[in-house]
Amino acid sequence: MYMGDQTNARTANIVTCGTGFDLILQVKVITERLERKKVQGFGSVVTYANCCCYCSLEGFPATPAECLSQIRRRKKRTQDDIFSEILKASAASDHEKTVWRVSISDCMKKEKVDMRKAKESQQEEEREMHQDIMGLFQQQTQTLQTHVNLQVQQSWACLPLQFMENCTAARPYTLLNIPHGIRGHIPTSTTPTTTKEH
């Protein structure tokens, strides 16, 4: 009966469910049960139960913010720590553990080298792509600049348009300059012809 009550007390203190108030009620019930039993050694069990419950209450977060703060304060476990825990839990010999550790270390080093090479090659490809894009942008800029220059030259070559009111009316017919080498008389004015009387 002594060992059964001690096991129940430990189980009740380890499993923390609900709020802190529920845990206090569980401790109170367990303490009352142990005090009602007049068996030798119950005092140590009650003290152990109270200590376990006190530790559980101290470590139990009251609010979600406290729970998040405890998670942030936890030390981040590395791959070496996890591997060490696995080796400790395994029943392998020291030689096998050493071989596993060396092989895992070599694999991790190779993986790091491969990741670094892949990252460098990706950066090189991105750099070349950036240079190609900049070259295309430069060609497009030069083409647009040439097009703009041609449009400016064409606008300078064309006369500006004017309204018809501002234009002076030209004579419909103009006298042609006849060279002196051409024979003949060109009348400049009309003269009346005279007829002889018979």
Q: pLDDT tens for the chain, 198 residues: list them.
A: 444 444 444 444 444 444 444 555 555 666 666 565 544 444 444 444 454 544 444 455 557 777 667 666 666 777 677 777 777 777 777 788 788 888 888 888 999 999 999 999 999 999 999 999 999 999 999 999 999 999 888 887 765 566 666 555 555 545 555 555 555 555 555 555 555 544
Q: Supply the pLDDT for residue 78.
A: 73
Virtual CA dihedral for 9, 11, 12, 14, nearest 10 degrees?
120
Query: For the chain, what is the total number of helices (H) and then of strands (E)?
Result: 6, 0
Domain extent listing, the chain: 2-74, 82-144
Nearest to 105 by CA among 80, 142, 137: 80
Q: Supply the pLDDT for residue 42.
A: 45
The reported pTM is 0.33
Q: Supply the pLDDT for residue 161.
A: 60
Q: In angstroms, rounded to a whole number, what is the distance separating the alpha carbons of residues 35 and 88?
A: 41
Is the CB of residue 49 less than 8 Å from the CB of residue 13? Answer: yes
Q: In angstroms, rounded to a whole number, what is the distance separating the alpha carbons of residues 56 and 71?
A: 17
- Joined together, the tokens standing for residue 4 give 């059964």
Q: Supply the pLDDT for residue 144.
A: 93
Q: Supply the pLDDT for residue 96.
A: 81
